[in-house]
Structures are given as structure tokens and as C-alpha cells.
Homo-oligomer: A and B are copies of this chain.
Amino acid sequence: MKKLIERIKKDGKVYPGDILKIDNFLNHQVDVKLMDEIGEEFYRLFKDKEVDKILTIESSGIAIASSASRCFGYVPVVYAKKTVAANMAKDAYECEEHSYTRNIEYTVQVAKQFLSENEKVLILDDFLANGEAMRALINICEQAKAKVVGCGAVVGKIYQPGEKLIKSLGYDVKILARVKSMSDDGQIEFEEEEE
């Protein structure tokens, strides 16, 4: 998605530890117009999938999923909750997620009532790097016997294992901005866009 890549080139900041910060338009300050365009792009990519519901994860996935919902005819959005306390909730599907950025384990939770058997779920998130968050969301859908019809990430570090991992689990994954490399002097290189 050209406009998104231009924006990352303009505003993205690379920090030590392979961190890409785009918090002035995606995950602290939010450019809602760009989110709407991202939502339209996800619609273009997944419109044939008969999506019943969009599943994402707090907090940074919420604005993206909201914008996408509108394009998909206002399907419900469910956002998984992330907690560091392991408070086993009997009414929730749960999966552990290891955060490489923060080096901690999260418990990802979705209340059972919000995922149903055979429901067609589109999973959306902001970043795909190691794929831990997306794998946890897929696992939760599998527990619920919901059908994951696609996975989308706004930004993907394609040199990390996330994309391959999700594909190896048998799921379709689309990445809107494919980061090929980042250097310490702040250069960000993207892979050419697929059509």
C-alpha cells in the first residue's frame, strides 16, 4: 500500500533492538483518515471471504479493525484482551503470547460468547514480526471452532518468522507494508508491493 509505505518512510523511526516506531499515526496518535484507507485496502484484499467478524487485539489493533468493519458492512469487531496476570477466566478462550519487544508473557483472552462455531473471522493487527500475537488469535479461533478466513497486518517485518509461521499453520496472510530491512541509521527498506 503505497501511501502507507510513504508515511512510514516519512514518520517511522528506527530504534535499537530492531524497533520501528510509527506511533505518530498508528499506535499512540492515530491518523483516522489513514486508518480508513487501510480498512478499505483490507476490504479489497478480503472482500470475497464473507467475513462475519473481525478479531483484533488491544490496543493498537482497535482503530484499524473499526475502520475495516465499516467497509465490511459494519461486521462486529472483537478485540482480545491482554493481561500479564494469569487470571484463568472460565468463560474465556485463552492463549499465551510471548512479547519479544517487552520480553514478557501475556495471556490473550476472548470471552467465549463473542466467538462462535463456524463464524468466519478476519484477524487484523498492526504489526506482524514474530507472529506471536497473530498465532494466539488463531489459536483462540481454533478453540472456538470459528473459521479464520484471513489474516492481515498493517506492517510486517518480513525478515522475521511471523509471516512464514502463519502460512505454515495453513492461513492466508496479507501485509500492507512489507519491511525488508531496517538499519540503525534509520533507513527502512520495503519489498515491492504484490498486486
Query: Chain A residues in contact with chain B, CB under 8 A?
Result: 23-24, 28-33, 35-36, 58-59, 62-63, 65-67, 69-70, 74, 76-79, 81, 84, 110-111, 113-114
A63 contacts across to B, CB distance below 8 A: 62-63, 66, 77
Query: 4 tightest A-B contacts by CB?
Result: A58-B59, A32-B69, A30-B77, A62-B62
A62 to B81, CA, bound (A): 14
B28 in contact with A76 (CB, 8 Å):
no
**CB-based contact B114/A24 at 8 Å:** yes
Question: In the bound complex, what is the Cα–Cα distance between A87 and B29 (angstroms)?
Answer: 20
Shortest Cβ distance from A129 into chain B, in angstroms? 20
Q: Is the CB of A29 within 8 A of B70?
A: no
B residues less than 8 Å from A36 (CB atoms): 70
Residues of B within 8 A of A66 (CB): 30, 32, 35, 62-63, 66-67
Do A28 and B67 touch across chains, with their CB atoms under 8 A apart?
A: no
> Which residues from chain B contact A65 at a C-beta distance below 8 Å?
30
List B contacts of A31 (CB < 8 A): 74, 76
Q: What are 17 A-to-B residue pairs whose CB atoms are below 8 Å? A: A24-B113, A28-B81, A28-B111, A28-B114, A29-B78, A30-B65, A30-B77, A31-B74, A32-B69, A32-B70, A35-B66, A58-B58, A58-B59, A59-B59, A62-B66, A63-B66, A66-B67
